[in-house]
């Protein structure tokens, strides 16, 4: 297993009010990724994920489509900071409050 140290995502488009966070959580857990996801006040969805690099790329690929009703325009990615990684538990994908 090749792991990644943590990736921060900002997902833009029609991604709130369509079940995107719950869908993203299921997709990440199905690929044994850990992290968190939340809505942002600017109508984007923010996530931090870590795990197998191939699984991370796979979830990024499906995240461009999202659930029914979503229309993803863009996913910005960068390495996650230590603060963003704090509290992540292996095997868990938390839905956090809006930030």
74 is catalytic: no
Q: Taking residues 69-96, report their average pLDDT.
A: 95
Q: Are 93 and 37 in contact (CB under 8 A)?
A: yes
pLDDT digits (tens, 9 = 90+) for 36-55: 999 999 999 999 999 999 99
**pLDDT for res 88:** 95
- Dihedral sign of CA atoms 32, 34, 39, 44 in order: negative
**pLDDT for res 2:** 55
Active-site residue, selected from the candidate residues 25, 26, 39, 78: 39
**pLDDT for res 81:** 95
User: 3 or 46, which is more confident?
Assistant: 46
39 is catalytic: yes
Instruction: Count CB atoms within 10 A of the CB of residue 44.
Output: 19
């Amino acid at each position: 297993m090749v792991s990644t140290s943590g990736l921060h995502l900002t997902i833009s488009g029609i991604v709130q009010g369509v079940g995107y966070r719950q869908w993203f959580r299921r997709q990440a857990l199905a690929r044994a990724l850990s992290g968190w996801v939340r809505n942002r006040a600017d109508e984007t969805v923010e996530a931090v994920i870590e795990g197998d690099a191939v699984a991370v790329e796979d979830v990024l690929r499906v995240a461009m489509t999202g659930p029914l009703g979503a229309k993803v325009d863009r996913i910005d990615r960068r390495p996650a900071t230590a603060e963003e990684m704090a509290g992540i538990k292996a095997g868990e994908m938390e839905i956090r409050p809006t930030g």
